[in-house]
Amino acid sequence: MDMFTGIIESLGKVESISQNASSLALAITCPFAAELTLGESVAVNGTCLTVTSHTTTSFTADVTPETFRRTSLGTLSHGSEVNLERAMPANGRFGGHIVSGHIDGTGTFLGAEKEGNAMNMAIRVSPELGKFIIEKGSVAIDGISLTVANADYGSEVLFSVAVIPHTWRETTLSSMQEGQIVNIECDAIGKYVSHFLKFDGIQKNSGTDTENQAFLDTFMNDFERFH
């Protein structure tokens, strides 16, 4: 598995989009395109994508139906700016937090206000994602490693992050519009802990076979729909 840090390397722009009902092929202008290799991973707005071709100025990547459903990539259009980060090299410095590039879901940008040298951004997410949002914990928003400043838990979860001037200038955050959909990747440690606890509970539950069959039925229905 490739690993990212949430420290954005540069901005790119969507050059072209080939789209069908459930998937995409993107071409993105990129300052480091000439250095890429086929099969390399690049996080686009936090979404780990594989380079399928490249020139000296741009690269292409396919977006699978699952990624299309889970992320905001389907909302991109020609000329949209995107955050770009190459996978972390083995000898690289770890500047942010553990980011896999596997998006958990999306949130909604509610607005930002200046406080001192910071811009405080407000984000709304579902309770399913919100349970992993912890005050002073880490979260990746459109691939950017940020620290949760405050969180309010209810039927929807609202949280804020304080963005330093450099990150505000050098990423897509400064151009976000109220109501914009953003990619959310929650902290990996919390997700693993939650999975272990849930899995242990399922193993002790007599309804395990029924739950497994329900999962299989859902998977097969999705498979048939997209093939």
10-52 tens-digit pLDDT: 999 999 999 887 889 999 999 999 999 999 999 999 999 999 9
89-123 tens-digit pLDDT: 877 777 888 899 999 999 999 999 999 999 999 99
The C-alpha angle 33, 102, 151, rounded to 5 degrees, equals: 115
The DSSP-derived string for 33-79 is GGG--TT-EEEETTEEEEEEEE-SSEEEEEE-HHHHHHSSGGG--TT
Q: How far apart are CA 155 and CA 149, in angstroms?
A: 20
Q: What is the pLDDT of residue 199?
A: 74
Backbone angles phi, psi at 43, to 5 degrees: -85, 120
Show Cβ contacts of residue 114 under 8 Å, excluding neighbours closer than 6 positions: 120
Q: What is the pLDDT of residue 227?
A: 44
CA dist list (Å): 210 to 81, 202, 205, 214: 45, 11, 10, 6
Of 18-27, 60-69, 75-84, 101-110, minimum mean pLDDT range: 18-27
